[in-house]
Amino acid sequence: MAIVIVFGTLCPPINLLGFLTFFLCRIVYGYLLVYAETRKSDTGGAFWVTQLQHVFVAVIIYCILMIGVLFMRAKTPGPGFIAVAGLVWTVASFYKFNTSHSWERLPIQDLVLETKSSSKTKREGVGQYVQPEMLES
Residue ranges covered by each domain of the chain: 1-40, 41-99
Q: What is the pLDDT of residue 81?
A: 96
- List of the chain residues with pLDDT < 50: none
DSSP 27: H
Show the CA angle centred on residue 115, arms to residues 110 and 121, nearest 5°. 125
Q: What is the pLDDT of residue 85?
A: 96
Burial class (CB in 10 A: 0-12, 13-18, 19+), 62: buried
Q: What is the pLDDT of residue 55?
A: 93
Q: What is the pLDDT of residue 74?
A: 93
